[in-house]
Amino acid sequence: MKTAHLKAFKALKSQHKVFNHEPIELVFKRMLQVKAPELSLEQQSFKASWQRDFDLEKGRLLQGLPHVFNAFHIGSTAIKGMSAKNVIDILLVVDCKPKDGALLNQLADLGYQDYGVSPISNDAIWCWRILEEVSYVVHICQSNNPCIALIVAFPEYLNNNRQAQLDYVAEKQRLISSEQDLLSYSVSKLGIYCHFFQMAGQWKAKQPGGGALIRHEKSI
C-alpha cells in the first residue's frame, strides 16, 4: 500500500469513525479486497434511459428470483442530472443469505457473474451482467442488513434537494479533477459519502413512514 493511501485514510479517519453502521477501518479494508470486472471508468452525461434500463432489469430480477424482498435503483445513475459510468447499480434485497447457492445459480441463469464481497457491506455480495449498451451490477443484501436504509435514501435525498445535489456534484467533480489514483479517489469519495449519507438519513427520518422499506408484492 502506498504512503498516499495511508495518508488519505488517516485524514478520513480523523473526521469519521463510522460509515453506514460499520467502523471506517472495516470499510477501508473491504475497499482493498473488492474485485470488479475490467470496465471503462469514463463518466457519461446523465441519460434519461438509465431509469428505464433499471425498470426493465428490475422486472427481470423480480420475475426470475423467488426470494426477493425488493430491488432499488442506487448509485449515480439513480440521481437525475448526474454524470456517471454507464453501469446501473441495483440493491437487491433478499429474504435469504446473499451467498445462497440457489440464488446465485438463478442469477447466473439471468446472466450475472459473482464477484464476491460488495463495496457496500461485508455482509453483501455483488454480481455483474456486462452488456455492450449498458452494464448492471446487483448488490445483494439480506433484508435485515442495517446498511440498506441509507443506501436507498441517498439518491432519494439528492433527487428531492437540488442544492444538496449541486453540492454533491461539485465535490465529485473536485475529486475527478484531482487526478488521484483509483484507491486514493475512492477513499476521498468515501469521506463525501459520510457527509451526504448523514444528511440523507436526517431527511428521510422526517418523511412519511420514517424510511421504512416496502416489500414488492408480486402480481398473481
Distance of CA 110 to the CA centre of its chain: 20
- Rounded CA separation 215/218 (Å): 9
**Which among 21-30, 39-48, 90-99, 182-191 has the top mean pLDDT?**
90-99
Res. 177: pLDDT tops 60: yes
Res. 160: pLDDT tops 60: yes
CATH class of the domain comprising 3-205: alpha beta
Distance of CA 7 to the CA centre of its chain: 25
DSSP state of 190: H
Confidence of residue 120 (pLDDT cuts 50, 70, 90): very high
Which pLDDT score, from 0 to 100, does residue 199 have? Answer: 96
139: CB partners within 8 A, 6+ apart: 74, 89, 90, 91, 92, 118, 119, 120, 121, 124, 125, 126
Residues 93 and 141: beta-carbon distance below 8 Å = yes
User: Chain-wide mean pLDDT for the chain?
Assistant: 89
Confidence of residue 1 (pLDDT cuts 50, 70, 90): low
**Which bin fits 163, alpha (ψ -120 to 50), beta or left (φ > 0)?**
alpha
Domain residue limits, the chain: 3-205
